[in-house]
Amino acid sequence: MLITTTVKNRRRIFDDEAFAREAIETLYRVQKLHPFILFGFVIMPDHCHLLVYVPAPESISTIMRVFKYGLTFNLGIGAFWQARFHIGLPKNPQSSLWYIHHNPVRAGLAEKLQDYPWSSGSGRWKVARLDDFYRSQAG
């Protein structure tokens, strides 16, 4: 599933590198508490994209609630998220991953996807591989 969550009034709070790093670290902490498979992500200045698979009995609502509340608490800057988030079920997850990873390039934040540190496209963060996941589901 492709999830997008946005900061209220499109405030660019993740321009702050410490906040962007904390968003990623919070995401991984939530993954330990409420297991899900993370294929890719990007923390943009005013929104986040995640490509995930959430196995039962976990739920996207729980994961996003814990992520958003946890990050709000960890940053200590008061409420900053829009109340809702968007969920899409991509027909082509590989294209969604490409979209996520190239978001900073299209926005002019980096020349190459590897240059943007707050994305799994940089190669700096551990994520699951889509092809490995599909292979495991087939066998």
Q: Which amino acid is at 5?
A: T
pLDDT at 138: 62
Nearest residue to 39 via CA among 136, 103, 104, 133 = 133
Q: What is the pLDDT of residue 50?
A: 98
Indicate the residue type of 42.
V
Q: Looking at this protein, which amino acid is placed at residue 128?
A: A
Helix extents (H) in the chain: 17-33, 60-75, 93-106, 130-138
CATH class for the region spanning 2-138: alpha beta
Q: Is 107 helix (H, G, I), strand (E, B) or coil?
A: coil
Looking up tokens 């496209």 gives 121
Residues with pLDDT less than 70, the chain: 134-135, 137-139
Domain spans in the chain, listed from the N-terminal domain onward: 2-138
pTM for this predicted structure = 0.93
Q: Select from 69, 87, 86 the least CA-distant residue to 78.
A: 69
Position 92 scores a pLDDT of 92
- What is the three-class DSSP state of 54? coil
